Structure 1
């Protein structure tokens, strides 16, 4: 009896030590946030497919190929109707506030101690899902990151954690969201620590890794263990090719600067447009729909277009047309009130710019080129 009581006392003491172990508790919370963020990303992507099916009759990511079989007025009006719905949704559910993304997550982390509104996070995700489903040229990663961060911040707020732990759980939500979006746990952890948290201290890095792996596991369980893009194996042909890659980096940076500047110009133009705010996304949708009649690759996140560019499906002229059209469509979509990120459009722009650059470089130095797909990946 004495021995059993002694064992019970030791077990009770050990349990108390576990409960009071802040590091262990943080790991458990990171696991919870990672699983929740991964599930939220899955739900977000499924919601996009549902909305896209309602607007276009198909939820497939290769929307540009599907719309070629639709009548012209359907392609023209679907983004406009979607824009009207998005505008009204934002007007009634996010009054005086715009849908939020990665920049707002960084602001919350650095300036507000990790505090974020879970309601704004949810409504922003719905507005973004509607925008992407309607065919707006916006990305889904930014809203997914914001949604994951909102979940982490909500849990920290409910548990009344310290400011430091609040910021860490917010980073866990970001890491899990990125990892679940791209099936890349390492990328999720590095992104959260580098961009959002801003350091690699072990106290924050370890739980972020746990959350990132958990988010990836949830995503793989639902979507399968597949890479985000199917790549062609292109070994480096020659070290003399590195100067060409440097030139491609400069060209891609110029395209990125042009895209961001175009978004700023479109935003300024939108402010001077004498229309109610809830109607502006419909105008943007009409413009994007008109562009899609000639260049359907401007619709949606464009992952199918990015993959086709990596597989060298398009010719030089087509790549340039997609490049210009995608920049314009992205600027209009963001400037006139659609909700979403810029990462996916940036991938498309970089891929088609890299493909066009690679065609030129390969034609000039065919024996020194690793192939056009290699330049597409670098771009």
Structure 2
């Protein structure tokens, strides 16, 4: 081997070492900030439950955050869609201040009871830190895009405790029907390390009690794919897909209507806050405020409650209304955890009609409604495995892919590109 070849190999090894060091540092930072974020969410949620009067401050809190963005953060208000746009068409970059803006805004939203999620914050934290790192190191456009994908993966994987799903989500959310495997290895690496970092701070993710692990056959063995159950899951997934479409379309159309009714962006959250207060009065409880992962009071509706034997026929509807109102009016946070609630609640309701195990259909709905709304069926199938175990993977896959087929192309992420044609489009083209 000559000196030129030795020099090339040594240079390549150095490049890999530098890249690995950058990804490790970025992952640790994102995982640590997500740990801080989850800790703050626990604190403000407990505070809101202990002091119900905080709900009446929601309109004022929304206006305060709206003014903050209007005066100082208009260039970061695009959120996760801004990051996806930057990956597709690199330009000015994503500003570092996006991270503190969205983190504080989301914590404030949850303190006063807005029905928003947390994935939007995690993605924006990951994306903004990745963009700042790329600018600091003066990386090329292709390298900056790769780092942004890793930032999305690290944020999503660490905030939900699903690192593999986080990596695949970061690839799948960019273009409908197409995965760029060039970014897969660094995305997995950053997502796993970010998850480790988040857990190292003592953060614990909620356990969802899925007890169904298969159907017993006549000889006493377990059948993991029962044809009858699979058919029922597919039928329920059609409903899940329709709910995904209703959710996404409702948010987009109501947001457009609110812009017409109230042109001032900073004032629109007041409408959502007042509407939320009125909805609580109509429903008569506070089950649909905040994340809704755990019940605010014994017997209340929550994601965990839907895995039990209690029947919640209309919880999916009320969570849909509460979430659409606040997201369309401009509150920050995200859509994913409310979609988990919507999916698990609709699964709980459909299980009673289809005579299925409630915990199984709640778990399938949990991942399927999100899959349909985000157009990420593969990532959501893997999420089901990471959250609930691999025994029911066939049902997760059926639910996620069928829901995506019936949810349409327009999802919660408007910057997502379309990389495949529908069957009808292909026939018309031919």
Shift of 1:333: 0.5
Cross-structure match for 1:377:
363
Tell me if the contact between 1:182 and 1:228 (Cα under 8 Å) persists in the aligned partners.
Answer: no
Shift of 1:102: 2.7
The TM-score, its normalising length taken from structure 1, stands at: 0.81
Q: 2:333 matched to 1:337?
A: no
> Are residues 195 and 168 of structure 1, via their aligned partners in 2, closer, same or farther at CA, if it must alter by over 3 Å?
same
Moved runs in structure 1, 4+ residues, more than 6 A?
Answer: none
For residues 128 and 343 of structure 1, the distance between their equivalents in structure 2, rounded to whole angstroms, comes to: 13
Q: 2:63 matched to 1:43?
A: no
Q: Tell me the alpha carbon deviations over residues 304-347 of structure 1, each in whole angstroms, 9 at most, x when there is no partner.
A: 2111112244x2xx431x21211111111011111121111111
**Residue ranges of structure 1 left out of the alignment (5+ in a row):** 1-12, 363-368
Tell me if the contact between 2:210 and 2:363 (Cα under 8 Å) persists in the aligned partners.
Answer: no
Shift of 1:122: 3.0
Shift of 1:200: 4.6
Cross-structure match for 1:319:
313
For residues 263 and 93 of structure 2, the distance between their equivalents in structure 1, rounded to whole angstroms, comes to: 34
> Are residues 221 and 160 of structure 1, via their aligned partners in 2, closer, same or farther at CA, if it must alter by over 3 Å?
same
Q: Tell me the alpha carbon deviations over residues 195-224 of structure 1, each in whole angstroms, 9 at most, x when there is no partner.
A: 24864535x322222211210111111234
Cross-structure match for 2:120:
142
For residues 189 and 249 of structure 2, the distance between their equivalents in structure 1, rounded to whole angstroms, comes to: 37
Shift of 1:75: 5.6
Counterparts of 1:244-255 in structure 2, within 5 Å, are 244-255=232-243
Between the two structures, name the one with larger relative contact order (CA 8 Å, sep ≥ 6): 1
Cross-structure match for 1:6:
none
Q: 2:296 matched to 1:298?
A: no
Counterparts of 1:73-92 in structure 2, within 5 Å, are 74=53, 76-92=55-71
**Residue ranges of structure 2 left out of the alignment (5+ in a row):** 1-5, 216-225, 295-301, 366-430
Cross-structure match for 2:260:
272
> Are residues 239 and 332 of structure 1, via their aligned partners in 2, closer, same or farther at CA, if it must alter by over 3 Å?
same
Based on CA coordinates, which of the two structures has the bigger radius of gyration?
Answer: 1
The TM-score, its normalising length taken from structure 2, stands at: 0.72
Q: Tell me the alpha carbon deviations over residues 108-165 of structure 1, each in whole angstroms, 9 at most, x when there is no partner.
A: 1111269311123432332222223322111110121111011011101111011111
Shift of 1:27: 1.3
> Are residues 23 and 306 of structure 1, via their aligned partners in 2, closer, same or farther at CA, if it must alter by over 3 Å?
same
Cross-structure match for 2:187:
208
Instruction: State the Cα RMSD in Å.
Output: 2.7
Cross-structure match for 2:385:
none
Counterparts of 1:46-61 in structure 2, within 5 Å, are 46-50=39-43, 52=44, 58-59=46-47
For residues 164 and 139 of structure 2, the distance between their equivalents in structure 1, rounded to whole angstroms, comes to: 27
Cross-structure match for 2:351:
358
The one of 158, 161, 165 equivalent to 1:183 is: 161
The one of 295, 306, 309 equivalent to 1:309 is: 306
Give the match's secondary structure for 1:223: coil
> Are residues 99 and 292 of structure 1, via their aligned partners in 2, closer, same or farther at CA, if it must alter by over 3 Å?
farther
Tell me if the contact between 2:35 and 2:199 (Cα under 8 Å) persists in the aligned partners.
Answer: no
Q: Tell me the alpha carbon deviations over residues 2-41 of structure 1, each in whole angstroms, 9 at most, x when there is no partner.
A: xxxxxxxxxxx99x93696222211111111111111121
Give the match's secondary structure for 2:266: coil
Number of aligned residues: 340
Shift of 1:298: 1.6
For residues 214 and 146 of structure 2, the distance between their equivalents in structure 1, rounded to whole angstroms, comes to: 40
